[in-house]
């Protein structure tokens, strides 16, 4: 009986565990950055999104026929919509400013890297993780510098120092 065979479980579970672990580990740098930068979403949310996206891809891989490309595409489409909805919850409007768009985009990328890991596309998942983390670090510094300069200009204008 195949289901009682240890090799059956090893062959089934080990590749899936590696993919899930990859999704979790690669989501960590993005999650860490967002946890430090904002308290809207952080380590738990990003890790769960990556694991969830990976898990849905794995479920589709195990239960859909190999030639069911349309069905697999619909799984990814559903992930895209669902994670987009979750990201929308991170966007806040405060007076004349909008905050959380970088976090929303980051959660979307984290879902994509989870899906990539679920499909065994490790290079793509690594590129998404390192690229998103690098963009968040570099562009956040540029943004802070520009916002600081704008705030200083605004303060000088209010004081009549133009």
pTM: 0.79
Q: Where are the domains of the chain?
A: 2-158
d(CA 35, CA 49) in angstroms, rounded, equals 14
Contact 110, 46 (CB under 8 A): yes
* pLDDT tens-place string over residues 9-18: 777 778 999 9
Contact 68, 45 (CB under 8 A): no
* pLDDT tens-place string over residues 84-136: 888 888 888 778 888 888 889 999 999 999 999 999 999 999 999 999 999 99
């Amino acid at each position: 009986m195949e289901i009682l065979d240890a090799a059956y479980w090893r062959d089934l579970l080990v590749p899936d565990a590696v993919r899930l672990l990859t999704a979790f580990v690669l989501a960590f740098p993005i999650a860490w950055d967002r946890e430090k930068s904002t308290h809207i979403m952080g380590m738990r949310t990003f890790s769960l999104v990556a694991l969830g996206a990976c898990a849905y891809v794995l479920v589709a891989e195990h239960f859909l026929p190999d030639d069911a490309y349309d069905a697999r595409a619909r799984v990814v489409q559903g992930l895209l919509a669902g994670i987009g909805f979750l990201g929308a919850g991170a966007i806040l409007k405060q007076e004349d400013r909008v905050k959380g768009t970088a976090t929303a985009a980051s959660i979307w990328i984290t879902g994509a890297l989870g899906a990539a890991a679920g499909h065994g596309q490790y290079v793509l998942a690594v590129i998404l993780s390192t690229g998103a983390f690098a963009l968040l670090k570099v562009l956040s510094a540029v943004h802070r510098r520009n916002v600081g300069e704008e705030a200083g200009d605004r303060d000088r204008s209010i004081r009549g120092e133009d």
